[in-house]
Chains A and B, each alone.
Chain A
């Protein structure tokens, strides 16, 4: 059975290290398939001067996910069409799909230079909006792995490609803030006051009303987390929420954890030399991994969120002060290890310094135990 190995994009990032793909990213594969198919149709129409494509053309391209291979995660997309009796009928269309796949790869590569292959149908640039929108910072897809010219795609590439054709882009949002207004006319909508002082508005569903009212009434201690999608302008400013799919009431600890993760992601803007000539910036890989370690540790250890800071050596330092106990965890994204150091202000002889191995999910979970044991022994 012939396969289309070139339609096996490689997903890289912490979430893919166990050769698995989170289900929310499966819709990205659907969007990728649709883009390649639509580009192929466009090429066909242009080269044959026909307005419509034959029905067999669509049948040529029916992909199934058969397996996920390692490295970090490589979904194996197999073309079911090759197994049908209509094989002979559809094979003439194969070159159009090969060319379409190549054009998509070229568009991804060229986006770094702000260039688009001249054969690429500009009206299809908007299709990139649905590809990669669920990627987190530090994650990427290579659409041309195992070649000499990788086509590496992440959220910045997505933005560049969509904004070549439009002035705004829709993207996933995960926000928290205070509910500053609720309106019923002309339709149900709410205003969310964000921590930076800006306000965004968007529609809500009846099932969200309870959470909205709860936060609206208890404006001092509660916050609202909103997941969904929003429209951003070219300056990456959120103009409005287009859809709210999830709402969750948060307390101060929840907000502290979200804020800590946001700070870690923002640290990737620090370049080398930010703190003296020999200082190093925080890499996307380190930030993504550190955010994962932080979430796991705070959740499992039922800990308050720590203060988070970059270090001049490109690491990320978590600092907890729990009564008289001071705990520092310095996370090294390259070695996947942490320097753990704890001391008590009231008992100077109780210093504890450990190098903690965090190279596997199980070991990451153990960091919460280390902190819990330290709290017990120091109390």
Chain B
């Protein structure tokens, strides 16, 4: 099932450029506290839309626990701002879900594979500069 078939289509661009957007760092994508670019790269099933959670609706801890409850294994939560997504040309869009009103996406659809990696790397670097918003107690 593709991302779009399981979720409503993304809505308007998020307008508060200072708002932070949280992203869980899957444990397999973190080595010695260093996250891979893949943390911010949409997966094969995501149709080039990267799932994020809005800081205005969720906290880093809530985002972390939601991921754990879905069966994922997270090393912690990182964040990028709406402005940073715009700067990397992967705009942040509204995408609230019935089960998760904080859900938003970053739109990579205009980019090919290499540019997707590059933009994911930019977001990762922004997030690393900001530091971990929440860290798993046991890595």
On A, residues with C-beta under 8 Å from B are 263, 267, 270, 274-279, 307-313, 317, 319, 326, 328, 339, 341, 343, 345, 351, 353
Contacts and interface: CB of A to CB of B under 8 A. Distances in A.
A313 B31 contact: no
B28 A319 contact: no
B7 interface: no
Interface stretch (B99-107, B113-121, B129-137): B113-121
B25 to A, nearest CB: 11
Given A326-B121, A353-B114, A275 B43 contact: yes
A278 B34 CA distance: 26
B28 A276 contact: no
Given A319-B36, A326-B121, A309 B28 contact: yes
B31 A308 contact: yes
Contacts of B118: 326, 341, 343, 351
B44 A317 contact: no
A275 B36 contact: no
21 contacts: A270-B28, A275-B26, A276-B43, A276-B44, A277-B1, A278-B45, A307-B31, A307-B34, A307-B36, A309-B31, A317-B36, A317-B38, A319-B37, A328-B117, A339-B113, A341-B118, A343-B118, A345-B125, A351-B114, A351-B118, A353-B114
A341 B45 CA distance: 22
B35 to A, nearest CB: 9
A309 B121 contact: no
B31 A328 contact: no
A263 B31 contact: yes
Contacts of B36: 307, 309, 317, 319
B121 A343 contact: yes
B43 A312 contact: yes
Contacts of B45: 276-278
B88 to A, nearest CB: 11
A309 B32 CA distance: 12
Contacts, number: 49
Contacts of A341: 114, 117-118
Of B1, B44, B113, chain A has the most CB atoms within 10 Å of the CB of B44
Given A277-B1, A309-B38, 11 more contacts: A270-B28, A275-B26, A277-B45, A279-B43, A307-B34, A311-B38, A312-B43, A312-B44, A319-B36, A326-B121, A341-B114
Interface residues of B, number: 19
A352 to B, nearest CB: 9
Contacts of A317: 36, 38
B37 A328 contact: yes
A274 B37 contact: no
Nearest to B46: A276
Contacts of A312: 43-44
A279 B72 CA distance: 13
A279 B26 CA distance: 14
Contacts of A310: 28
Contacts of B121: 326, 343
A287 B87 CA distance: 37
A142 B125 CA distance: 48
A267 to B, nearest CB: 8
Of A274, A308, A319, A345, chain B has the most CB atoms within 10 Å of the CB of A319
A25 B35 CA distance: 39
Contacts of A351: 114-115, 118
Contacts of B37: 319, 328
A298 B31 CA distance: 18
Interface in B7-35: 26, 28-29, 31, 34
Nearest to A266: B28
B28 A275 contact: yes
A279 B29 CA distance: 14
Q: Which 6 residue pairs spanning A and B have beta carbons closest together? A: A309-B36, A353-B114, A307-B31, A341-B114, A343-B118, A312-B43
Contacts of A275: 26, 28, 43
Contacts of B113: 339
Given A274-B28, A326-B121, A313 B44 contact: yes
A267 B44 CA distance: 19
Contacts of A277: 1, 45
